[in-house]
Structure 1
Amino acid sequence: MAPSEREKMAAGEWYSCLDDELDRLRVLAREAVHSHNTLAPAERGQAAPALIRLFAGFGEGAFIEAPFHCGYGFNITLADRVYLNAGCVILDSAPVIIGAGSMLGPAVQIYCAEHHKDRASRAAGLEVARPVTIGRDVWIGGAAVILAGVSIGDGAIVGAGAVVTRDIPAGATVVGNPARPATRK
């Protein structure tokens, strides 16, 4: 039996996102996100219960401000004390793991999917999913974008508005588009 589109997605193979099973999973995520984004802060707590249940892992003291958006949710793991500021977007077609004590500023975006470069294949919904791993005690400034397949090492800093296209070593500070080591003047 041929693998399903979800199985191909999980295996890091080309898959069609125009698939009934994947669509149903995205609907579940949208419902949990809606709950999170519309609950009163006192009811929501650290994150809406529906969102916490959807995630692969939600550590002690983790906190997600509203609004928030994710693609599937079940691929997201937040370790202890992770903080996501308002407007963060995680399109988690592959695992996204965020290490303990890491903080994401407002409007940070994490994209796991790479769309096909061939126009006809792209129109058919073909994409490939690559994981994103963010280490411990990382600071990602507002409106930064983290692209598919990137790993960010422990203690790294990503400047506001940076576009991260490559791995960042532990302790490094990067800025710009594409993100590159910060220089002192």
Structure 2
Amino acid sequence: MTERDKMIAGQPYNPADTELTNMRLHARRQMKLFNQEDDATKRSSLLKDWFGATGENLYMEQPFRCDYGANIYVGENFYANFNQTFLDVCEIRIGDNVMIGPNCQLLTPLHPLDPTERNSGLEYGAPITFGDNVWLAGGVTILPGVTLGNNVVVGAGSVVTKSFPDNVVLAGNPAKVIKTID
């Protein structure tokens, strides 16, 4: 397996690998183009060419930051407000009709708890997956390995540390179900 294959699979990998370093440099160039582009149509086109896959209708405000971009998959009718950070060492898969408020973070990377392992430089991660019709209010953080079902709403400032099923409203740190949606 290549270091990239290991990374996507959630196995320990070496981020200093040449292929991964080059991919991150490419992402930095893409971020610079995206974050300097005033035309929303051109920004959407940049994302369509850069992300792993997208729907036809997507809109994202600036600024946007990520590790690779190529590991991000968004469905149809995607909207993301200002100041997003999507760290995509593992895949981030987002369904249709998803809205993300300002200042949200989708974080797939993990580091070993043992200091000797952590100091070795090896990293790993876990994917993030959203179903359809998910809405993250402002300032939400989604941690590695989280899956949110369809029709999930996450309240402002919440930190989502575990997965949740369809039709729930979450809030808090750590986020918990505060309401179900009929």
TM-score when normalising by structure 2: 0.93
Which whole-Å CA distance do the structure 1 matches of 2:42 and 2:77 have between them? 10
Alignment length, in residue pairs? Answer: 180
- 1:138 pairs with one of 134, 139, 142: 134
Shift of residue 45 of structure 1? Answer: 1.6
1:73-112 alignment runs, 5 A limit: 73-112=69-108
Give the C-alpha shift of residue 124 in structure 1.
Answer: 2.3
Query: Any stretches of 5+ residues in structure 1 without a counterpart?
Result: none
> Percent of counterpart pairs with the same letter?
36
Contact 1:46/1:63, CA 8 A, preserved across alignment? no
Q: What is the rounded CA distance, in whole Å, between the counterparts of 1:65 and 1:116 in structure 2?
A: 33
Aligned position for 1:176: 172
Q: Is the 8 A contact 1:100 1:136 kept in 2?
A: yes
Matches within 5 A, 1:1-185: 3-40=1-38, 42=39, 44-45=40-41, 47=43, 49-182=45-178
Residue 125 of structure 1 and its aligned partner are, at CA, apart by: 2.0
Whether the 8 Å CA contact 2:44–2:58 is kept in 1: the answer is: no
C-alpha RMSD of matched pairs (Å)? 1.6
Cα distance in 2 between the residues matched to 1:21 and 1:134: 28
Q: Deviations over 1:143-175 (max 9, x none)?
A: 100011110010011111111010011111111
Runs of 4+ in 1 over 2 A off after TM superposition: 46-52
Mean Cα deviation higher: 44-53 or 162-171 = 44-53
What is the TM-score when the length of structure 1 is the normalising length?
0.91
Distance verdict in 2 for CA 1:87–1:11, change over 3 Å:
same
Report the Cα distance in structure 2 between the residues aligned to 1:93 and 1:83, rounded to whole angstroms. 22
Matched letter for residue 121 of structure 1: E
**Rounded Cα–Cα distance in structure 1 between residues aligned with 2:45 and 2:85:** 18
Deviates more, 1:16-25 or 1:44-53: 44-53
Q: Note the C-alpha offset of 1:8.
A: 1.1
